[in-house]
Amino acid sequence: MTLAVCADVGSTYTKAAVVDLAAGVLVGAAAAPTTVGTDVLRGLDAAVAAAAAGLGVRDMPWYVCSSAGGGLRLAVIGYEPLVTAQAGRRVGLSAGAHVVHVAAGRLGAADLAALRGARPDVVLLVGGTDGGDAETITHNATRLARARWRVPVVLAGNGDVRAELTALLESAGVPVTAADNVLPRIGVLAPASARAAIRAVFLRHVIGGKRLSRGSRFARLVRAATPDAVLTGVEVLADTIGGDLAVVDVGGATTDVYSVLTPDERATGPGRAVAGSLWRARTVEGDLGMRWSAPGVVRAAVEERLLAPGERDDLAAAAARRAADPAFLAADDAERAADERIATLAATVALRRHARGAATGERAGRDLRDVRLMVGSGGVLRHAPAETAGRVLAAVLGAHA
């Protein structure tokens, strides 16, 4: 057997799997609480040891991703809100980032204060097509340089001033990584270079900067932010099945949706014509989750008119119990039914929002009618009986149809 360790250091639990690469078979799996309060390596090593117990193999390659410590917090600064700023937001989401701030136009004192207040780990500075407007991105780079900005910056705007602005930021002590323009021309969205740069900055600056581990071993082990790794896996799966694919990941604090669509005549509409289309996309719904964000699920379900008459009060009470105690585990049939209902609603609302395209700035939305495979993820589905997970996904598909 050719074995490898695949591990995800999450905000609550660290999951590890041992995979036979040659056979494509899972040979061991385990989970342990993420030990953010001490050193995340403790939880990681415990999970890997449990997953590999009894296999008699010690020297295996490790492939680790992480969203511990809040994952990757990204701020986007663009030329104007409906084109480059939204293009940057989409690229950030595809890179596995939690986009915590979006600004557009020339930064003023209040804008800079709001940017600082968002506490980003990385700033994605974009603006202007290649050969287009250069004044706004130049102004914003100059503003960051004069402000003695020390948060890493990924510069991915107008290519005509890339070298000049990189030198400007470097001379001011701003950690900067240059990438190709995310919007080289109107209607063309080019995420690959900026996505790679954000990934590199995450590994070089963010993992170590969060002080999740005292030594350098954890930083050497981590290869990607968890959502970035998941989207990459979704892309591989979509290429394998040769058709459109959607994944709904229901977590404790957020519900993430990933989709890979086939570009075709659906690429129409004013939003896509200007800012381009990102056919491999991810959205994050920060108000939808099984524990911390459970009350948000109920509120969103009310807005979407998804609740049955008389259901709201009991479900709101169940959601409040979970938000008050994120470690809550359902111990009886009633609580398990409440978990299933909250999961169904979270996944349904998240998928609807993803399809509408609001979170990615796509005015025409995302057409999911040709999705060949729907994948459900998250602890509530992974640890539930198969029939429960099946009911959740069936209900989500029925609500979206």
Residues 373 and 249 grouped into a single domain: yes
| pLDDT tens figures, 6-58 | 999 987 789 999 999 999 999 999 999 999 889 999 999 999 999 999 888 87
32-36, 126-130, 264-268, 297-301: which has the minimum mean pLDDT? 264-268
Residues 389 and 337 grouped into a single domain: yes
50-59, 187-196, 352-361: which has the minimum mean pLDDT? 352-361
206, 234, 254 - which closes a domain: 206
Residues 170 and 118 grouped into a single domain: yes
Q: Is residue 101 included in any domain, yes or no? A: yes
Q: Tell whether the model's pLDDT for residue 265 goes beyond 70.
A: no
Rounded to two decimals, the pTM is 0.78
Given this model, what pLDDT does residue 264 score? 60
Residues 282 and 200 grouped into a single domain: no
Q: Tell whether the model's pLDDT for residue 234 goes beyond 60.
A: yes
Q: Are strands 122-125 and 13-20 parallel, antiparallel or unpaired?
A: unpaired
| pLDDT tens figures, 129-151 | 999 999 999 999 999 999 999 99
- Count of CA atoms in the C-beta half-sphere (13 A) of 353: 26
Quick one: pLDDT band at residue 391, thresholds 50, 70, 90? Answer: very high
Given this model, what pLDDT does residue 310 score? 94
Quick one: pLDDT band at residue 112, thresholds 50, 70, 90? Answer: very high
Given this model, what pLDDT does residue 266 score? 47
Phi-psi region of 326 (alpha: psi -120 to 50; beta: other; left: phi over 0): alpha
Distances from the Cα of 105 to the Cα of 102, 133, 200, 275, 378, angstroms: 10, 11, 27, 16, 38
Residues 98 and 157 grouped into a single domain: yes
Quick one: pLDDT band at residue 270, thresholds 50, 70, 90? Answer: very low
Residues 267 and 391 grouped into a single domain: yes
Given this model, what pLDDT does residue 279 score? 80
The strands making up 222-225's β-sheet, listed across from edge to edge, are 25-33, 13-20, 3-9, 62-66, 222-225
Q: What is the CATH number of the domain that holds 52?
A: 3.30.420.300
Q: Is residue 190 included in any domain, yes or no? A: yes
Residues 273 and 192 grouped into a single domain: no
Say which residue the tokens 């939204």 belong to. Answer: 86
Given this model, what pLDDT does residue 189 score? 87
Q: Is residue 198 included in any domain, yes or no? A: yes
Q: What is the CATH number of the domain that holds 319?
A: 3.30.420
Q: Is residue 141 included in any domain, yes or no? A: yes
Given this model, what pLDDT does residue 342 score? 97
State mean pLDDT over 347-355: 93
| pLDDT tens figures, 52-97 | 998 888 789 999 999 887 778 999 999 988 788 888 988 888 887 8
Q: Is residue 236 included in any domain, yes or no? A: no
State mean pLDDT over 256-271: 68
Quick one: pLDDT band at residue 272, thresholds 50, 70, 90? Answer: very low
Range of the domain at 135: 73-206
292-296, 298-302, 326-330: which has the minimum mean pLDDT? 326-330
Quick one: pLDDT band at residue 372, thresholds 50, 70, 90? Answer: confident
Quick one: CA torsion of 171, 173, 179, 182, rounded to 10 degrees?
Answer: -100
Quick one: pLDDT band at residue 308, thresholds 50, 70, 90? Answer: very high
Residues 251 and 351 grouped into a single domain: yes
Quick one: CA torsion of 85, 89, 94, 95, rounded to 10 degrees?
Answer: 90
Given this model, what pLDDT does residue 269 score? 47
Given this model, what pLDDT does residue 94 score? 82
Residues 380 and 266 grouped into a single domain: yes
Residues 196 and 218 grouped into a single domain: no
Q: What is the CATH number of the domain that holds 166?
A: 3.40.50.2300
Chain mean pLDDT for the chain: 89
Q: Is residue 162 included in any domain, yes or no? A: yes
Q: Is residue 238 included in any domain, yes or no? A: no
Q: Tell whether the model's pLDDT for residue 360 goes beyond 70.
A: no
Please, are residues 289 and 346 in contact by the beta-carbon 8 Å criterion?
yes
| pLDDT tens figures, 146-181 | 999 999 999 999 999 999 999 999 999 999 999 999
Residues 78 and 64 grouped into a single domain: no
Q: Is residue 86 included in any domain, yes or no? A: yes
More confident residue, 272 or 24: 24
How many domains in the chain?
A: 3
Residues 251 and 377 grouped into a single domain: yes
